[in-house]
Amino acid sequence: MRGRYLCWRLVRAVVTLLAMIALTFALYFAIEQHPPMSAFGSGPYTAQQIRAVRRLYFLDGSKIRLYFDYVSQLARGEFPHARTIDSSGRVVDAGSPSLYLAPKLRVTLAMLLGGAILVLLLALPLGALAGSRIGSWTDRCISLGVLILLCMHPMMLGLILRSAGGRLDWLPTSGYCPLSGHATLINSNGQPTGTCGGPLDWFTHLLLPWLTFALLFLALYTRMIRASVAETIHEDFVRTAHAKGASETRVLRSHVLPNASLRVLTMVGMEIGTAIGVCIYIEAAYGMQGLGNAAINTLGGNGDLSLPNTVAIVVLITLIVIIGNLLVDLLYTILDPRIAIRRNEGQTKSLVGGVF
């Protein structure tokens, strides 16, 4: 049963990925009908130059064949290479987009994982506190605070925190430091201001982005944990635990909160896509060079749209979502083998704060 279900999931994931690449192709070729000739200055252009530019923008061959070439290349585990025009006007290979995207992927993954951990660290105590005192002032204050955070936009929240952080001067407020090796920090005018690197710099530079991320997603998780705690707190086994003399925190920690873990996990799975969207804004707010930054530069650039780069970004983001969801599914079956694997058929996407 489990194997068959996972197989079916995988097939659907592959179909989704293929459709996504096809959509990207459709959008790309809808726009690049008249490629910019900027590589050769202002006209008139020779036939050879026009041919070179059409080749540069992948307009010279069959689009269907190009699609299958791309898919087979991706299936072999490598991204299709970008093209560029060299000084003599010939179209040459510009290398794999993975060279350009690998450091960015690291930034985004660090953001996502650290942020997710911080969300849970904040949401569990808050949700438990609110859930065990439904209707009290503590509960109301937490609910209101969380609601206000829910209405914040990631970029605004990020910039507010960054401004406050800059005023207080406790934490570095921009840039990303690699965990190993060194990077040059650049200020807003593009001047280098120093180097940084190592675990400590990595951590302090990511702390504010993580906090931003966590505050944004706090609402969903706190509310859910609150609801779950409020439901289970009147169950018999909780009363038994109380009767046996366990302290309040102990009852909450080891008897009530584990019941919320499945719902939290479902939510994590559903929110991965949203989280990547949020990363675009947070990266922009803190001047970090992540996947979101790459997406904005590639897709929103000044007309210089590159098909291999676009496809690579779309594939990477989709893969993060798909792999994340599969992991959540696996964890699900490990955490609670009793339940049927047909999860979240009736489950719905989070009510508010969906897409940003």
Partner 1 sequence: LRFRRDRWNVVALVAVVVVVFLGFFGGAVVSRLVGHSGNEQFPFAANSVLRPVGPFVRVPAPRHVRYDDYGGLVRPRAGGRTALLILGADGPLGRDELIRLLDGLRVSLSIAVGAALIALLIALPLGCVSGYFGGVTDAVVSQFTEIIMAFPLLLFLVFANTHLQGLRAVGWGWEFPAGVFDEALLIGVFTAFYPTRLIRAQMLTLRNAEFVESARMVGASHWRIMRRHLLPHLAPTLLVWAAVAVGTNILIEVGLSFIGVGVQVSTPTLGSLLTTVWGTVYNPQTYNSHNYTPWQTILPMLTIVVTVAALNRLAEGIRRAMEPKEQR
- Quick one: which H or E segment has residue 221? helix 198-232
Give the shortest CB-44-to-partner 1 separation in angstroms.
26
Calculate the CA dihedral of residues 155, 160, 162, 166 and round it to 10 degrees.
160
Surface-to-core class of residue 307, CB atoms within 10 Å of its CB (0-12 exposed, 13-18 middle, 19+ buried): buried
**Which is closer to partner 1, CB of 52 or CB of 315?**
315
CB nearer to partner 1: give 160 or 200.
Answer: 160
**In this complex, which beta carbon is closest to partner 1, that of residue 156 or of residue 179?**
156
- Scan for tokens 């893969």, then name that residue: 319
**Greatest Cα pair distance in the chain:** 89
Least distance (Å) from partner 1 to the CB of residue 148? Answer: 6
**CA quadruple 324, 145, 284, 195: dihedral sign:** negative
Least separation, in Å, of the C-beta of 306 and partner 1?
A: 12
Q: How far is the CB of 251 from partner 1 (least distance, A)?
A: 20
Q: How far is the CB of 250 from partner 1 (least distance, A)?
A: 25
Whole-angstrom CA distances from 20 to 46, 59, 200, 201, 335 are 36, 20, 39, 37, 32
Residues lying near partner 1 in the complex (CB under 8 A) are found at: 12, 15-16, 19-20, 23, 27, 31, 147-148, 150-153, 155-156, 158-160, 162-163, 166, 231, 273, 276-277, 280-281, 284-285, 287, 292, 295-296, 299-303, 305, 313-314, 317-318, 321-322, 345-346, 348-349, 351-356
Q: Cβ-count burial of 243 within 10 angstroms (0-12 exposed, 13-18 middle, 19+ buried)?
A: exposed
Structure tokens belonging to residue 117: 């951990």
Q: Is 43 left (phi over 0), alpha (psi -120 to 50) or beta?
A: beta
**In the complex, what is the shortest distance from the CB of residue 351 to partner 1, in angstroms, rounded to a whole number?**
5
Q: Nearest approach, Cβ of 349 to partner 1 (angstroms)?
A: 6
Judged by beta carbon, residue 273 or residue 308, the one nearer partner 1 is 273
Nearest CB to partner 1, comparing residues 110 and 295? 295
Q: Are 140 and 133 in contact (CB under 8 A)?
A: no
The smaller minimum CB distance to partner 1, of residues 231 and 336, is found at: 231
State how far the Cα of 295 lies from the Cα of 130, in Å rounded to an integer: 39
Q: Is the CB of 80 or the CB of 273 nearer to partner 1? A: 273
